[in-house]
Amino acid sequence: MLKTFTKAALASSLLLAGGGYAAANDALKEAASNPAQWVMPTGNYANQRYSELDAINKDNVGDMVPAWTFSTGVLRGHEGNPLVVGDTMYVHTPFPNIVYALDLTQDGRIKWRYEPKQDPNVIPVMCCDTVNRGVAYAPASDGGKAMVILHQADTTVVALDAETGEQIWSVQNGDPSKGETGTAAPMVANDKVYIGISGGEFGVRGSLTAYNLSDGKQAWRAYSTGPDDEMLFDPEKTTALGKPVGADSSLNSWEGDQWQIGGGTTWGWFAFDPELNLVYYGTGNPSTWNPSQRPGDNKWSMTIMARDADSGMAKWVYQMTPHDEWDFDGVNEMILADIPVDGQERKALVHFDRNGFAYTLDRETGELLVAEKFDPAVNWATEVVMDKESDQYGRPQVVAEYSTEQNGEDVNTTGICPAALGTKDQQPAAFSPKTGLFYVPTNHVCMDYEPFRVAYTAGQPYVGATLSMYPAPDSHGGMGNFIAWDAGKGEIVWSLPEQFSVWSGALATAGDVVFYGTLEGYLKAVDAQTGDELYSFKTPSGIIGNVMTYETDGKQMVGILSGIGGWAGIGLAAGLTDPNAGLGAVGGYAALSNYTALGGQLTVFTVPDQTASASSTDAAATPAAAEGEQPAN
C-alpha cells in the first residue's frame, strides 16, 4: 500500500539527511523509481514521462471515469502537471503562481496553499501567456525538511517546506524590468536546483543558474552567449560535433556587442544523467527575430548544452539552427534513453526541435547520430548534413525560397513550414522502454513571416517580425498530429491527425497505453503499438497541461490540468482578436473559441475495477527505467 511505502520513504529520507545533499539526491532517485509517485516534473531525470503502473491498461482504459476534480481558482493557460509525493499532491497555477498541497487520503483536502504577492506589471513582459510549468521536489536533508521549489513569474525562486508551505529561502533569479521572467519548472539534482530564464522576445541574455539547495545561494551561472568564462566554456575541452569549440566561439559569431541582448533563453526542460553527472537543456532563439540585424551564426543560441552538474562547465554543445531566421527556439526537452542506432546500442539523447527535425545524439560525446524531419510538411530546409567530412556537417540546408534574411526586410516570406511555434513546442514527448518508441505531440502549422528593423529598449518587446499562421496546406486540414517515432531510424511509425495542435505533454505506461490532451479539451488514450484510440473524455477547458499518473489506495490514477492558454491559446487566454496578435497565433487558432473556454481545473481519472497493480517493490526490479538506463528494445 502507498501509506506503508510513504512512511518508509520518509524514514529513509530522515536517515539520509545526515549524509548531506548527495544522500538527498539518492533519496530523490529512489522516490522517482517508485511508480506509485510522480516526484519530478517529467517523471524522472531522463524526461521519459513513462510509468511502470499497469493497472490501467489497453484492455480496461475504455472503462476509465473521472474520480475527482479540483479547481485551481485561476484562469489563463495551465501548463505542466502536479507532483505526487507519498499521500500529498502538489498543484501549481499560472500567475500568480499559487501552490496547493492536497491530501490524497481525504479527497484532495487542501493541506496548505502558498500564494505569492507579485507585481502584476510582470504580466505584460510574459511573451506567450502567464504560464508556469511546475514545481520541483527535494527530499529532506540536513535540517530534516523536504522542500517544494517554485520559480515565480517575477523570477523569484522560493523553497517551501513540503509539509507546511512555509518559506525556507528565497532568491531573485532575474530582473522583470529587463523582460526577464520565470515560466520553466526547476530541476533538483545532487545538492543543487537548476533554474532557467525566459524573455527571448525582450532581448534577454539567456542563462542556466544552479543554486545550493541548502540556502539558495548561487553556485554558478552559465550564459548562452558571450565570453568563454561567462558561458563556462573551455575552448579546448568543450566540443561541438567532436571538435574543440576554440576561443571566443560565441563572440566571433555576433556583430559587435549584440550578444549582450542576444536571446538564447532557457525556458524549457532539464535532464540529468547521474552516471555521467551531466545536465542537458536547450537554448532559445537569438534576438531579434529580424535576422538581418544579427549577422553570423549567433552562437550559442538554438543549442543543446551538456554541462557538468557540479561546476557548470560545458562538456559538449550542438547548434541545431545556426543564425535562426524563423524563431525556432531549441528549448524542447532532451529525452535520455539507451536505444539501438545502426545496430549498435547507444546512450542516446533524443530531441524533437521546434525546427521540425528530430535529433538523436550520443549523450556522452555529443556525436550526431540521426537528424530527420518528424513532420513531412517541414520545408525550410532540405536536410541536415550527416557527412562528417563535409564543411556543412550538422548544419541544416536552408531552402532559399523560405529564407527570411535572403528575401529581405519588409518582405513577406510565405508558406514557411513549420511556423514559429515549431513542429513541437515545449509540450514534452514520452518514451516507452517496452515499445522503444517516442510519443510526440506536434504542430502541423505553417506561417508567413515579414521581418522589420527594430531598436532595443530594455523591458520592451524586441521582436522585429510580423507573422501569420495556418494549417499546413495539401494535408489533412488540421493543425496537429500525435505521432509515434523510432529515434534509432528517424522514422514515423504511426500518426494521428488532430484538428488543432497537440499542446499537451504525453504519458506512456506499462499498460501499453499512451495518453495526451487536445486544445479542445479532450483527454485521449491510445494503444502504444498501433495508435488506435481507446478512450476520450472532454474536460472543462482546453488542455495544454501534461498527463501524469500515480497510485493511491492500491488504485492507479491519471491526472491532467485543463485550462486553455499558452501560445496557441493566447487569443482566448488574453482576450486578443487581432489576427497578427500573440506573435501571429491569434488568427491561426481563432476557431478554438468554438470548442472551449477559459478554465483552471485538475481532473483525476481512474478505472473502477482494476485487475493489476504495480507495487512499490516493482521499482527495485526496474531502476534503470527511472534513470534513463533501461535496456535496449
Active site residues per annotation: 327
Q: How far apart are CA 470 and CA 191, in angstroms?
A: 45
- CB atoms inside a 10 Å sphere around CB 597: 13
If one counts every other C-beta atom within 10 angstroms of the C-beta of residue 28, the result is 25
DSSP 261: G
Distance between CA 430 and CA 416 in Å, rounded? 27
Q: Which of 545, 598, 543 is nearest to 571 (CA)?
A: 598
3-state SS, one letter per residue, for 316-331: EEEECCCCCCCCCCCC
Cβ atoms within 10 Å, residue 367: 17
Determine the Cα–Cα distance for residues 424 and 80; give it in Å rounded to an integer: 15
Distances (CA, A) of 107 to 68, 69, 586, 607: 8, 9, 38, 17
* Sign of the torsion angle spanned by Cα atoms 4, 10, 13, 14: negative
* Residue 494, amino acid: W
By the 8 A CB rule, do 516 and 555 touch? no
Residue pair 497/480 in contact by the 8 Å Cβ criterion: yes
Backbone angles phi, psi at 441, to 5 degrees: -80, 130
CB atoms within 10 A of CB 175: 16
| Main-chain dihedrals φ then ψ at residue 251, nearest 5 degrees | -55, -35
- Dist CA 255 CA 404 (whole Å): 19
Cell numbers standing for residue 589 = 487558432
Nearest to 264 by CA among 333, 182, 324: 324
Tell me the DSSP string of 367-430.
-EEEEEESSTT--SEEEE---TTSTTTT-EEE-GGG-HHHH-TT--EEEESS-TT-SS-S---E
Tell me if 397 sits within 8 A of 379, measured CB to CB.
no
Q: How many CA atoms lie within 13 A of 52 on its CB side?
A: 22
The CA-CA-CA angle for residues 477, 483, 484, to 5°, reads: 160
Contact indicator for 332, 269 with CB cutoff of 8 Å = yes
* Pairing mode of beta strands 314-319, 239-240: parallel
Spatial CA neighbour of 300 closest among 218, 391, 233: 233
- Which residues are CB-contacts of 53 (< 8 A; sequence separation ≥ 6)? 35, 36, 509, 510, 511, 549, 550, 551, 556, 613, 614
Q: How far apart are CA 77 and CA 403, in angstroms?
A: 32
